[in-house]
């Protein structure tokens, strides 16, 4: 199976490092590179398939459509390059923001894998493909919503995707839309009362999914994103050579 990889953004890593101190290690880090996988393709300007090197430092964002993955990526990057409209279910395309590291030909990539959730439920045959792709990444950000009450579908998907301890060790559960948890405040983006409920939600999600790395944030209001990037940095740092 092959996949179309679209680079929605390409820049030097300095653009990202100026925004996030926690990623500074990428200035000197060596990134192991994976090549020649049949699904690693992108189309050039003439529509021809050209090989694409998939970087082991790739960070993949997954989660159901409408949970705010693209908004999160745009806020991290500082540009609106990932489309925030709803995408068609069942798409298998991968959208990436690629950052070139100064000292080598290596890259760091932030990727959006839309359609996970609905399509995985609908079609078991994609499971293996998704699992493979996730296994080649250094970090997987699984986006949930802080105001979500029922996690049963996500729990099912999660268990199918991350079947062993190693796979789960890469995961960060990111609770977006923290501003929407009750009691919604008119004066503050996230009130003290909301923070109490957010902490309870984090504890609940930790228990349900069996993952310690759980953070809450609001992509829309840019609250808590530095903490999320810090968690990402820790996972990626464990996969590169310093
Ligand atoms: N209130 C609120 N809305 C958000 C937040 N993040 C995303 N949204 C909204 O949720 C909708 C879906 O977001 P999008 O990024 O397209 O979701 P995706 O399908 O997971 O990529 C958009 O209308 C966003 O503006 C957030 O933190 N708070
Ligand atoms: Mg999206």
- Rounded to a whole number, what is the largest CA-CA distance in the chain? 55
Higher pLDDT, 106 or 91: 106
Neighbours of 195 (CB within 10 A): 14
C-alpha 6/C-alpha 98 separation (Å) is: 10
Tens of pLDDT, residues 143-156:
999 999 999 989 98
Instruction: Supply the angle between the helices 125-135 and 152-161 in degrees, to the nearest 10.
Output: 70
Of the ranges 45-54, 119-128, 200-209, which one carries the lowest mean pLDDT score?
45-54
Give yes or no for residue 88 CB within 6 A of ligand 1: no
CA dist 225 → 12, 44, 72, 219 (Å)? 21, 33, 8, 7
Please compute the mean of the pLDDT values over residues 68-80 and round it to a whole number. Answer: 95
Residue nearest to atom 8 of ligand 1 (CA): 68
DSSP state for residue 194 in the 8-state scheme:
H
C-alpha 59/C-alpha 49 separation (Å) is: 23
pLDDT at position 7: 82
Instruction: Supply the angle between the helices 192-209 and 152-161 in degrees, to the nearest 10.
Output: 50
Highest mean pLDDT among 36-45, 118-127, 178-187: 178-187
Q: Does position 109 have pLDDT exceeding 80, yes or no? A: yes
Instruction: Supply the angle between the helices 69-77 and 225-237 in degrees, to the nearest 10.
Output: 80
- Structural element, H or E, at residue 171: strand 171-176
Q: Does position 124 have pLDDT exceeding 50, yes or no? A: yes
Give the chain's length: 242
pTM for this predicted structure: 0.90
Q: What percent of the chain has pLDDT over 90?
A: 52
Give yes or no for residue 74 CB within 6 A of ligand 1: no
Of the ranges 4-13, 84-93, 102-111, which one carries the lowest mean pLDDT score?
84-93
Q: Is the dihedral of CA 221, 227, 232, 233 positive or negative?
A: positive
- Structural element, H or E, at residue 158: helix 152-161
Higher pLDDT, 224 or 117: 224
DSSP state for residue 231 in the 8-state scheme:
H
* Closest by CA position to 239, among listed 32, 54, 34: 32
Q: Does position 142 have pLDDT exceeding 90, yes or no? A: yes
Q: What percent of the chain has pLDDT over 70?
A: 80
Tens of pLDDT, residues 18-43:
999 999 999 888 776 654 444 445 55
Higher pLDDT, 32 or 163: 163
Q: Which residues of 44-58 are buried (b: 16+ CB within 10 A; e: fewer)?
A: eeeeeeeebebbbbb
Q: Judge if the upstream peptide bond of residue 13 is cis by omega within 30 degrees of 0.
A: no
Q: Does position 107 have pLDDT exceeding 60, yes or no? A: yes
Please compute the mean of the pLDDT values over residues 183-206 and round it to a whole number. Answer: 96
Give yes or no for residue 68 CB within 6 A of ligand 1: yes
Write out the two tokens for 191. 């009130």
Write out the two tokens for 188. 């503050």
Q: Does position 119 have pLDDT exceeding 90, yes or no? A: no
Mutation to probe ligand 1, out of 60, 62, 68 (largest number of atoms < 8 A from CB) = 68
Q: 241 falls in which pLDDT band (50, 70, 90)? A: confident
């Amino acid at each position: 199976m092959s996949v179309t990889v679209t680079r929605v953004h390409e820049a030097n890593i300095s653009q990202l490092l100026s925004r996030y101190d926690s990623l500074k290690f990428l200035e000197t880090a060596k990134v192991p590179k994976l090549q020649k996988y049949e699904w690693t393709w992108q189309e050039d300007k003439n529509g021809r398939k050209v090989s694409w090197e998939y970087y082991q430092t790739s960070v993949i964002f997954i989660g159901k459509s409408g949970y705010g993955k693209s908004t999160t990526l745009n806020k991290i990057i500082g540009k609106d390059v990932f489309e925030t409209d709803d995408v068609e279910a069942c798409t298998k395309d991968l959208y990436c923001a690629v950052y070139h590291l100064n000292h080598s030909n290596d890259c760091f990539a932030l990727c959006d894998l839309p359609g996970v959730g609905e399509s995985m439920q609908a079609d078991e045959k994609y499971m293996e493909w998704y699992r493979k792709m996730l296994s080649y990444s250094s970090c997987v950000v699984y986006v949930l919503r802080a105001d979500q009450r029922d996690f049963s579908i996500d729990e099912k998907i999660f268990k199918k995707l991350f079947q062993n301890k190693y796979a789960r060790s890469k995961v960060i559960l990111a609770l977006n839309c923290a501003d929407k948890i009750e009691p919604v405040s008119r004066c503050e983006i996230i009130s003290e009362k909301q923070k109490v409920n957010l902490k309870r939600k984090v504890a609940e999600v930790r228990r349900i999914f069996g993952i310690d790395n759980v953070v809450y944030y609001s992509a829309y209001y840019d609250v808590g994103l530095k903490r999320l990037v810090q968690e990402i940095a820790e996972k990626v740092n464990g996969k590169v050579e310093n």
